[in-house]
Amino acid sequence: MELEAATILGKLIGAGLAAIGVAGGGIGIGVVSGGAVQAIGRNPDAAGAIQTNMILGIAFAEATAIYALVVALLILFVF
Amino acid sequence: MVEQTRRWRWGVNRWLVLLFIILGFMAARAYPPILPHVQLPAEALSEQPLVTLPGIGPLYLTNTLIALLIVDVLLILMAVGIRRATSGGALMLGGVAGAVEALLEALYNLTESTAGKWARSIFPWMATIVLLVLLANWLELIPGVDSIGLLHHSDEGYRIETLTTVGATEVQTIVTGGEEGHVEDGFSLVPFVRVPATDLNFTLGLALISVVMTQVMGIRALGAAYFSKFFNVSTLFSKPLFGAIDFGVGLLEIISEFSKVLSFAFRLFGNVFAGSILLFVIGTLVPVFAQTLVLMLEFFVGMIQALIFGMLTMVFMSQAVAGHGHGAEEGAH
């Protein structure tokens, strides 16, 4: 196989594999939101504070998923 | 309590939405959209660099720089407008000024609840970052951004066709012409305006500003004792084993500061860049109305990412001014 076709093949497979890492972000966000929803159910008056901390936790979990996405985009568009 | 509620009725807006859907359908049939050539670095709009600095090298006028200048102008206009509204003496501001005032008040309450008495110093940094990133992300929703630009020769290009001629410049558009697809001598689009957060320079710059100012705030609050967070020799001689562990943890804090820079930069960059690629791809696959739904998603993602950047800056700054003892217990990162 010529080099160009092999490069494109490698790029596409690599980007697809890198995108598997996004699953961890989904699980993390689910865990954080589940904990937050349970906490609001126990103590509805604290909903404001719980919501703020939930958004913070979701941002951290999503950041890791975004790192995996950035690696996939890097493989596709830079190499 | 009996309220006289109006029966909700359809208005004139449904006809406008229908009109725009029909116009979009006709436009998509006439000139089918193509997938633009996506590249990670921002595209320079001219061959000559703007300025060539001696140590650093040439600086080009890129399309993200133009977008950032537009955002700056909008922010300055907003500040001037609010200044004029508040100096009029009215107690309640209406319109855009009132909305911005409500946003700033919400941000200030958030800052005060976390930072305490340092809120007055921390709030300007946090609110500037929030407003800048918010306006920069919402720039994506304006039609014309990412779609109007210069046509350059490229080997993966398409045929073009001249629509009108305005003065000396020709207004041209790309036609795909069915199965022809890529042609040898084709053109591809370089947009005039591209969302600033899709440029890693912008996000990295903001991240560096945020982390460096966190250190400056810590030094301003605690003096030279701020560095005992990194070089923790307080328990090194009294309890040797735990002292050594604490010293190692202190050195790890330095690495954690660098990882904060990377984390800030890539979080904002990844969200907005992936969103813009999603917009392009969905716009190519389903030209009518599907992009509207993605635009709604981008609206929320842009707002949340701006808030997250600001909130994390504020949280790290308040940890820095609170000192080593309190910071270790909160332990957000």
* B95-99, B258-262, B267-271: the lowest-pLDDT one: B95-99
Asked if B267 and A63 come within 8 Å (Cβ–Cβ), the reply is: yes
pLDDT at B134: 94
Residue of higher predicted confidence among B333 and B307: B307
* B148-157, B270-279, B296-305: the lowest-pLDDT one: B148-157
Q: What is the mean pLDDT of residues B30-39?
A: 80
Nearest residue to B206 (alpha-carbon basis) of B113, B305, B93: B305
pLDDT at B331: 40
Domain locations in chain A as residue ranges: 18-77
DSSP character for A78? Answer: T
Q: What is the mean pLDDT of residues B139-157?
A: 81
Taking the mean position of all CA atoms in its chain, how far away is CA B106? 20
pLDDT classification of B180: cutoffs 50, 70, 90: low
From the list B110, B274, B332, which residue is nearest A73 (CB)? B274
From the list B271, B274, B311, which residue is nearest A56 (CB)? B311
Q: How many CB pairs under 8 A join A and B?
A: 45
Asked if B273 and A55 come within 8 Å (Cβ–Cβ), the reply is: no
Asked if B269 and A70 come within 8 Å (Cβ–Cβ), the reply is: yes
pLDDT classification of A35: cutoffs 50, 70, 90: very high
pLDDT greater than 50 at residue B328: no
- Using one digit for the tens of pLDDT, what is the confidence trace for B51-79? 888 888 888 888 899 999 999 999 999 88
Asked if B315 and A55 come within 8 Å (Cβ–Cβ), the reply is: no
Q: What is the mean pLDDT of residues A52-73?
A: 87
pLDDT greater than 50 at residue B326: no
What pTM does this model have? 0.84
Q: What is the mean pLDDT of residues A7-22?
A: 93
pLDDT at B196: 93
SS3 sequence of chain B: CCCCCCCCCCCCHHHHHHHHHHHHHHHHHHCCCCCCCCCCCCCECCCCCCEEECCCEEECCEHHHHHHHHHHHHHHHHHHHHHHHHHCCCCCCCHHHHHHHHHHHHHHHHHHHHHHHHHHHHHHHHHHHHHHHHHHHHHHHCEEEECCEEEEEEEEEEEEEEEEEECCEEEEEEECCCCCCCECCCEEEEECCCCHHHCHHHHHHHHHHHHHHHHHHHHHHHHHHHHHHCCCCCCCCCCHHHHHHHHHHHHHHHHHHHHHHHHHHHHHHHHHHHHHHHHHHHHHHCCCCHHHHHHHHHHHHHHHHHHHHHHHHHHHHHHHHHCHHHHHHHCCC
For residues B177 and B159, the answer to whether their CB atoms sit within 8 Å is: yes
pLDDT greater than 70 at residue B172: yes
pLDDT greater than 90 at residue B43: no
pLDDT at B332: 42
Q: Tell me: domain A18-77, CATH 3.40.50.2300, correct?
A: no
* A52-61, B85-94, B171-180, B320-329: the lowest-pLDDT one: B320-329
* A49-53, A56-60, B157-161, B265-269: the lowest-pLDDT one: B157-161
Asked if A77 and B40 come within 8 Å (Cβ–Cβ), the reply is: yes
Distance CA B312, CA B236 (A): 32
Residues of A in contact with B311 (CB under 8 A): 52, 55-56, 59
Mean per-residue pLDDT of chain B: 83
pLDDT at A55: 86
Per the listing, tokens 């996405």 go with A69
From the list A52, A60, A77, which residue is nearest B38 (CB)? A77
Residues of A in contact with B315 (CB under 8 A): 56
Asked if B271 and A66 come within 8 Å (Cβ–Cβ), the reply is: yes
- Give the best residue of B37, B40, B256, B309 to mutate against chain A (max A CB count within 10 A): B40
pLDDT greater than 80 at residue B182: no
pLDDT at A44: 94
Query: Could you give phi then psi for residue B240, rounded to 5 degrees?
Result: -60, -45
Asked if A59 and B333 come within 8 Å (Cβ–Cβ), the reply is: no
